[in-house]
């Protein structure tokens, strides 16, 4: 349902432009309202993330795909951002921090928006690993970037080999960054929203429910303390 609604939203935008330029006389969507079904986003927990990082992958291209996926988990970059990522997007601040500075591509429903991500050690190690790769040098990008078709096929194999029973996609990697890697570790929702390149914090708030796991974990200490007092 949600996929259909997203396509309808784009089509509605096109019809709005057609009406504006006089190509059509009446808005066919005038009585149409989109209804989205609220669903929990699929994410990886810390244990699943570790399994994917540690799985042995003799196939060189599968190893590249795994590294791109892990990079997405620790930076929040979408697949299109990773394939376009080059040395010009990597900057260093006055304190020696390494940053990714990019712009989310403009779509029918969103404007182009810049975002900044402080590069975590795992992501930085991957940048350094591939900066001298002949394929990366030829493409003038950070990662060699196999084809989209091979990438998707490889993600299925990687999940099977790692013993992770979830469908791996770069959407899942991005959601994992928003939840497991950042929000559940205490990073503010405002900072996460900026790093994801969201135009509105409301978009980021869909991840706030995942923080329930963190709340439950922390509240256990209060339960333990109060049980001790009662005794």
What's the pLDDT tens digit per position in 25-71?
Answer: 888 888 887 776 556 678 899 999 999 999 999 999 999 999 999 99
Q: How far apart are the C-alpha atoms of 165 and 25, rounded to whole Å?
A: 51
Quick one: 204 and 107 in the same domain?
A: yes
Quick one: 26 and 124 in the same domain?
A: no
103 within domain boundaries: yes
Quick one: 28 and 139 in the same domain?
A: no
Distances, alpha carbon 176 to alpha carbons 11, 88, 135, 218, in Å? 30, 26, 28, 20
Quick one: 168 and 138 in the same domain?
A: yes
212 within domain boundaries: yes
Chunk the chain into consecutive blocks of 10 residues (it has 231) and report each block's average pLDDT, rounded to whole numbers. 75 87 87 69 90 95 96 93 90 88 64 79 92 79 89 96 94 91 84 81 68 66 63 47
What is the extent of the structural domain holding 34? 1-39
Distance of CA 82 to the CA centre of its chain: 10
Q: How far apart are the C-alpha atoms of 36 and 74, rounded to whole Å?
A: 29
- How do beta strands 113-118 and 90-92 pair? unpaired
Q: How far apart are the C-alpha atoms of 44 and 53, rounded to whole Å?
A: 12
What confidence score (pLDDT) does residue 57 get? 95
Which residues sit opposite 102 in a β-bridge? 115
What confidence score (pLDDT) does residue 185 get? 86
Which pTM does this prediction carry? 0.75
What confidence score (pLDDT) does residue 35 get? 72
116 within domain boundaries: yes
Quick one: 142 and 180 in the same domain?
A: yes
- Total tally of structural domains belonging to the chain: 2
């Amino acid at each position: 349902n949600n996929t259909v609604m997203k396509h309808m939203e784009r089509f509605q935008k096109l019809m709005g432009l057609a009406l504006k330029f006089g190509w059509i006389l009446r808005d066919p969507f005038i009585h149409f309202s989109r209804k989205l079904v609220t669903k929990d986003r699929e994410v990886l927990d810390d244990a699943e993330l570790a399994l994917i990082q540690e799985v042995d992958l003799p196939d060189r291209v599968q190893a590249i795909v795994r590294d791109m996926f892990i990079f997405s988990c620790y930076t929040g970059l979408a697949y299109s951002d990773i394939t376009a990522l080059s040395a010009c997007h990597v900057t260093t601040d006055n304190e020696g921090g390494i940053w990714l500075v990019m712009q989310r591509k403009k779509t029918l429903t969103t404007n182009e928006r810049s975002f900044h991500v402080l590069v975590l050690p795992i992501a930085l190690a991957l940048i350094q690993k591939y900066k001298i790769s002949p394929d990366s040098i030829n493409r003038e990008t950070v990662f060699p970037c196999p084809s989209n078709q091979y990438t998707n096929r490889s993600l299925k194999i990687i999940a099977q080999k790692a013993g992770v029973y979830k469908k791996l996609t770069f959407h899942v990697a991005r959601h994992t960054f928003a939840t497991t890697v950042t929000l559940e570790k205490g990073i503010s929702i405002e900072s996460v929203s900026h790093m994801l390149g969201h135009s509105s914090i409301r978009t980021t708030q869909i991840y706030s429910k995942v923080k329930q796991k963190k709340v439950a974990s922390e509240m256990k200490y209060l339960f333990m303390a109060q049980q001790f007092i009662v005794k």
